[in-house]
Each structure stands twice: as C-alpha cells, then as structure tokens.
Chains A and B, each alone.
Chain A
Amino acid sequence: MKDINDTPIPRTDPIQSATFTNPINAEIRRAAATGIYDIRGGGAKRRVPHFDDLLFLGASISRYPLEGYREKCETKVTLGTRFAKKPIELETPVTIAGMSFGALSGPAKEALGRGASAAGTSTTTGDGGMTPEERGHSDKLVYQYLPSRYGMNPDDLRKADAIEIVIGQGAKPGGGGMLLGQKISDRVAEMRNLPKGIDQRSACRHPDWTGPDDLEIKILELREITGWEKPIYVKIGGTRPYFDTTLAIKAGADVVVLDGMQGGTAATQDVFIEHVGLPTLACIRPAVQALQDLGMHREVQLIVSGGIRSGADVAKAMALGADAVAIGTAALIALGDNDPKWESEYQKLGTTTGAYDDWHEGQDPAGITTQDPELMARFDPVEGGRKLKNYLKVLTLEAQTIARACGKNHLHNLEPEDLCALTMEAAAMARVPLAGTEWYPGKAGF
C-alpha cells in the first residue's frame, strides 16, 4: 500500500470524535461481541456538579472563628429521635452505608464493623442479610429491609439497632439487584435460600407493599414487631428528593437516607449508573426543604450519601442541612480496594488501579469484594478495621477544622450561609451564591 505521508501535499490532522470517543467505541465493540450490557460496580464516573464546586467562606471580622485546639467543636449526632424508644447515638456523623454480604466478603464486613465501632459510628447490613461477623463487631448496626428479603428474619430484626427500609439507591434508583453466579458460595446461597452458582436477582419493588400509604403500614408493622424501640430509616435514591422525603416523613420515618447518583453499587448496568438519578449536590436542598416545610428538620434526621470522600464533603453536606452522611466507596478504599499494590493483578484483569470496578466477578485482588477463599485470605479484618477507624477520624477532624474556621461549635451549626459556589450549576443546585456575588440562579435580582 502506498504511504500517504510520502506525498508533499499538506493534510489535516486525524481528529478523534468528541462524540464517538475511544472508550465509547470500545463499549460498542464489547456490546457487539457479547450481546449484553456492561455490568459493573461503583457509582457514576462522569463528572457532575459536586461538593468540589462549593467553598467555605470562613470567618474573619463579621464572624469570628473558634480556637483550633482549645474551643470544642462537637461532632455527636443522635438519629431516630422522632418515634424510637432507643435512638442511635454516634460520636461522628460519618456512618458506614449498607453494603451486602455477598458483594463483600465476611472479613470485609467484619472490618467495617471494627473500624466503625472504634470510631463511634454505625455500620449497615445490605442485601443478603445480617452476618454474625458484622453483628459481633459492630456496636451499632443498621439492618436493611430490602425488596429481596434475603435472609430477613425477626431474630436479626430484634438484634439490630435500627432498621433501614431500602426503597432505592442513588446508583440505580428504580432498579433491582443482581449477584452473579460466580459469587454465590455455599454460605451466600444458604443465607438467601437459593441454589448455589445461579444468578440472584433482587426485585426492584417490595413484595408486599407499594406506594406511600402502604409504606406507612409497613413501618407500623416493623415497629410493632420490634416494640417501637428501633429507629426506622427510609433510604431513597436521588430522583425527586422533595416529594420522596415528604412521603417518607409522612409514612413515619425517623430518618431519611438520601443517596445521590455518584453513590456506589455492588453491580448494576453501567447505563443505569451513568444515566439515571440526580447528583448528590442536587438532592440535598430539596430534601431539606421538604423537612422544613413539614417542620421536621432535625426532628427527622437526614443522612446524605453518594461521593463523600473528605471532611470537606462531610462539612458541605451538613452545611446544606444534612444531619449525617454515609460512605460506601470511600470505606472500601480505606480498607484497601483499588490499592496500587495490586496493579499487576489489575492489569491481568484488563484494568488498572482506581478503575477496577468488576466487583461482581468476584476476583478482587484486594480480597474485599469476593467470596473466593484464597483472595479473601489476603485481607486482614483487624488491619482493615484499623485503617477504616483512622480514615473516619480524619474525616471527622477535617470537618471540625472547617467548622471551627466558620466559627461553629458543632458540625450541625454549619449553614448554607457559610458556603459559596464556584459554578452556576453548583450555585443553582446548592442554592448558595456564586462566589463573590449575592446571587444564585433562581433567586430574584439578576
């Protein structure tokens, strides 16, 4: 073939399409070869307006700060004060989100319990039921009540410190779940009353109720079974946060858990993760508005999750009106997920550190999202728990640092007035002024 570069005529550079990018084309080829959508773990990877688009103003003359090491900045939070006889008291407002046993190994669940307990916070079960490891190692354990009801039983319900009715998740609001056959060990299968090695589908709607009126009766039943002792959380994915929060409160929730689209999942279709749901930043103000409109802000607590990574994120979520936050992905990374020390193995799996998300395949080099005994043995739950505790402490310290700088003696006293936005989008979503102005989109006077 003639080499076109040999001709002297000037040519245009080859230009890659911004629409048909290489990753997009690779996905088209993958779909064409396999005939099935891409399933993966994690949350939305696309960039969406996020806490990074907000800044704290800090204090100076008009507001004075607190002395860093002397003046206290409280972090305690109590969840479930509305109806529960035994609300949950936490040392830090950073909780561990529900992640299923099945998606995670038993030792990984144990490590979450160890780390959370050492830091004075709660952990949450997930699809697949409660394991003795996590109950044993979690001072405060929230028991999820999911559509699949895998492993659901009244004894575990009574052992729980709170009950979380899962309506949706930010990564897949309106979607069910799927645990692929590879990950169904004998133990996982038995807990779920299903044969080993088959794909386990989790329904997207609850089997015995639909709609807000039924939800109210379901909450009544769960309270009656557990003697009105335990806080009842209702977890929703970010879709219509104003209405969903309103309905959850009306149905009798003690706590609303609101998960934005960056929130992780164990395994969902990529198209679902990337294209359904609201960014976390866009969820908080409408939910807080709903709480305020019903006179329930702080009486029904709001836990926000989806892309919380640092103490700054914690502080920003709280300044926008959340009472606490939950972390999933960040907790896994603290345990050792996606650690560069496994790079050569990630390469063999066709991926790289930071991008590994095929958790559903059960081959996690770090031994966290797997049921393979050999891989699981790589993970030390005591060491993992220690790292998680350290990380939770750092998140708390960072949030306190910011709160003190804003002159607040409790993280709860952070307020939208402490914030400004770097972009129009973030200003609109968070309803805080664009940096250097008094204005945000939707506010009169532009």
Chain B
Amino acid sequence: MQTFDLESHSLRELNSILHAQKDDTNQTSWEVINARGSHAIAVGLDAPIEVTIKGSTGYYCGGMNKQATINVHGSAGPGVAENMMSGTVVIEGDASQYAGATGHGGLLVIKGNASSRCGISMKGIDIVVHGNIGHMSAFMAQSGNLVVCGDAGDALGDSLYEARLFVRGSVKSLGADCIEKEMRPEHLEILNDLLMRSGADAKPEEFKRYGSARQLYNFDVDNAAAY
C-alpha cells in the first residue's frame, strides 16, 4: 500500500503519480490521507489500481475515471465520478449534486444519500444509491441504470431517453416524459446484479421501474409545454 498525504504534497503530484501507473503496475493499492475536501482528487485515472481516500472530497473526485477503483471514506462533493468511463467509485458517505453526471460506464455506489441531479445526462454508467436522491435526478439520462434504495425527489427522469431508473421507495414526482414501466425478468436480473455488486441490502422485487414514455423523441407541437 502506497500512502499519499495531501497535506504535505500537492494535488498535482498526486494526480501525476496516479496517472503514471500503467496497466501492469505493481503499485496497485493507494491510500490518500488528509483529503480535506480538495477538488479533482484522482481524476482521469486509467489503470486497474485501487485508491482509498480518507476524508471527504471536493468537486469531481474520480472524474473521467477508467479502470480504477476509488473508495471515498467520507462524503463526496459535486460531480463525483463525472463522465466516468469504466471502473468503480464507492462513496461511504453522502454525495452532493450531479453525482455520476454524463458517466459513460463503470459503477458508482453511494452508500449514503445523493443530492439533486444525480445521474444527470448519464450515458451508460450504473449508479446505485443506498439512500435517497434529490430533485431532477436522471435529467436527460441517455442510458445506463440508476438504482435508488430509498426515495427520489421531484421531477425524476425529466426528459430522459433510454436510461433505466429503479426506485424502491417513493418518488415525489416524475419529470416530463418519465413513466412507471413494467418490471420484466430481464430488469430483475440487472437489478439483482447491481444490488449485489454494490452491497445493497435490498431485494429486486421491492423496486419499481421508470423509463421514458418516448413522447418527446421527435418534436410535436402538441407537446410544446413539456419541452
């Protein structure tokens, strides 16, 4: 295990050391201490390494991650794992706004709650939130899965495309063009896998599925109020 102290060394040093790790690196396990809410920790990683961050992180922790597994032993600021391509990001605490925004792949697990706009514009990422999520989550979500073990706030899935949303608790309101959909066996399978991989204590059968009504896919003047 390599330990990196963000109090005595700079963010630039941290990210360049992590970027220098190639696919065949022997230094596969890293611990970052004294994170103290710094922004852009462990962004742009592209190697199968494990990075554990002690303390809470600022904006964009794990941004554009590929391959790496990043654990935050604290809470995460806005835009955690934004535009993630692959790999895993796990937040032990809560996550602020825009968690997993525009993510293309990989798995983001938030063990606490996530704030508003969780999964905004997601493009293939899987997000599992053990707690609740805030308003406008999955806005314009394109693909991937968003699993919420708790409740969802207002306007869930507004203007969404093909992303699948699974919520166990209540949904305060659905956004434009978002509807409840039938839970079919293939969905239960996806859900089961994601719940297992994210260590969530919930059963697939307890969830409801939401998705796009596809009414806004091609402009129709009679829907103008919904745009």
Contacts and interface: CB of A to CB of B under 8 A. Distances in A.
A227 B221 contact: no
Contacts, number: 108
B8 interface: no
B221 A36 contact: yes
B85 A217 contact: no
B98 A225 contact: no
A208 interface: yes
Contacts of A153: 64, 83, 85, 104
Nearest to A203: B140
Interface string A155-191: 0010000000000000000000010110000000000
B121 A148 contact: yes
B40 A220 contact: yes
A208 B161 contact: no
Nearest to B163: A193
B44 A193 contact: no
Contact of A207 (B58, B117, B124): B117
Interface string A138-154: 00000000001100111
Given A148-B121, A194-B142, A209 B79 contact: yes
B43 interface: yes
Contact of B98 (A152, A157, A180, A207): A207
A228 B15 CA distance: 11
Given A154-B64, A195-B161, A199-B217, A227 B16 contact: yes
Interface size band for A: 20 to 34
Contact of B218 (A148, A181, A226): A181
B132 interface: no
Greatest chain B CB density within 10 A among A35, A201, A208, A227 is at A208
Interface in B87-143: 97-98, 101-102, 104, 117, 120-121, 123-124, 139-140, 142-143
B208 interface: no
A67 interface: no
Contact of A208 (B15, B19, B120, B123): B120
Contacts of A194: 142, 161-162
A149 B218 contact: no
B216 to A, nearest CB: 8
17 contacts: A153-B64, A153-B83, A154-B46, A154-B66, A180-B219, A194-B162, A207-B117, A207-B140, A208-B60, A208-B79, A208-B97, A208-B101, A209-B98, A214-B78, A217-B59, A218-B59, A221-B43
Given A209-B59, A225-B63, 11 more contacts: A152-B104, A181-B217, A195-B161, A199-B218, A207-B120, A207-B139, A217-B40, A217-B60, A220-B39, A221-B39, A226-B44
